Amino acid sequence: MAILASKKNIERLTFILLIIYPFTLNAFFGYFSAVFSFWLSFYSWDILSPMKFVGLSNYYALFQELWRGLNLLFSDPNLLQFRAPFFNGLKNILVYTAIVVPTQTFLALMLALMGNQKIRGSQFFKVAYFLPATTCSVIISLIFMWLFEKDGFINFFIIPFTGGYRINWLNDPTYLLTAISLVAIWGTSGNFSVTFLSGLQTLPKEVYEAAKIDGASSLNRLIHITIPLLKPIIAYVVIMGLIGALQMFDLSYVMAGSSGGVGGAGYTITLDIYNTAFLQLRYGYAAAKSVILFLLIFSLSYYVQNKLRYYRHE
């Protein structure tokens, strides 16, 4: 009882009581697991038999695979998925990220700028654009697979531009990744446009009024006021987009299948980690791959963040 009477102790005990569950849970399944994962990457293990310390050989195998992939890329790209799946996943996800992030950021910004004009029904547009983001990616993929069929809904709108040629989106290695990218852009750009929109609404009105009085045209206002002021939000959207894109899993898993579809054209790093761990039961090797994924995400987003910050100070 004496402990309880003291003011300090009451507060501290209450604090502990209130955070103990979230703290322990996150410490265990977050930090402990992250460390475990790193540690596991030096072992060879299939859960059932005893763990075997293998030093750096998981990483060595990984770099061998990457090297093999790099050579195959120029000599015999058809064998990539078969001989160097991690490299193939890496290559695909970089291409995918390069397509998706700029496109969705640009589209989102454009839609937000237009939606920010004083027009009726802006709430309707917000809801319409945001809806895909609230829908499950698996469901989106399933619906789009139907729409992307050779005799499907999307080709109907495309044939005027292809001279009647119906693209076999999902079964042609040239188009599979494009189809997945389009679905991703469709699914997330609306979400980000609402982010931009709320950012636009917090910009100070006085600056615009002053610029108007100074005679700046609306294009000039956009280039010299809006975009610079939005820089932090653009950075946020790019980085969030980047982190999401590099970890893309659901769309490929459903639309291409866990083996990456025709010629492995829809294969990703995350699919490769999934397969290595849960189909091949090579947990140590998979852990090494996840460490590489973490480093990739971390360094790329760090790089982009610095790049964008640099812009802000110019």
Q: Is the dihedral of CA 183, 188, 191, 195 positive or negative?
A: negative
Residue in the structure block whose two tokens are 């917090």 = 202
Which one of residues 56, 95, 98, 143 is an interface residue with another protein (CB under 8 A)? 143
Count CB-CB contacts under 10 A for residue 81.
25
Helices (H), 27-150: 33-40, 57-75, 80-83, 85-115, 122-134, 137-147
Of 129, 179, 180, 188, the residue at the interface with another protein (CB under 8 A) is: 129
94 or 240, CB closer to another protein? 240
* Binds another protein by CB under 8 A, chosen from 65, 101, 126, 260: 126
Residue 195 lies near another protein (rule: CB under 8 A) = yes
- For the chain, how many residues are written? 314
Q: Which stretch binds another protein (CB under 8 A): 83-91, 94-102, 119-127, 172-180?
A: 119-127
- Say how far apart CA 184 and CA 188 lie, in whole Å: 6
Interface pick for another protein out of 12, 307, 309, 312 (rule CB under 8 A): 12
Q: Supply the minimum distance, in Å, between the C-beta of residue 75 and another protein.
A: 30
Among 79, 158, 235, 308, binds another protein (CB under 8 A): 235
Binding to another protein (CB under 8 A): which residues in 240-299? Answer: 240, 243, 247, 249-250, 253-254, 257, 270, 273-274, 277-278, 283, 286-287, 290-291, 293-294, 297-298
Q: At what angle do helices 173-201 and 85-115 cross, to 10 degrees?
A: 40
Q: 264: closest CA among 99, 97, 73?
A: 73
202: tokens are: 């917090």
Report the residue number, 66 or 200, with the smaller CB distance to another protein: 200
Tell me, residue by residue from 34 to 53, as one string, x for binding to another protein by CB under 8 A and - for no binding: x-xx--x------x------
Q: Which is nearer to another protein, 265 or 291 (CB)?
A: 291
Nearest approach in angstroms of CB 312 to another protein is 14
| The token pair that represents 77 in the structure block | 């790209």
Size of the site for another protein (CB under 8 A): 95
In the range 54-83, which residues lie near another protein by CB under 8 A?
none
**Phi and psi at residue 253, in whole multiples of 5°?**
-60, -40
Member of 1, 21, 55, 163 binding another protein (CB under 8 A): 21
Strand partners, 52: 44
In Å, how far are 71, 100, 167, 273, 309 from 173, measured between CA atoms? 20, 18, 11, 22, 38
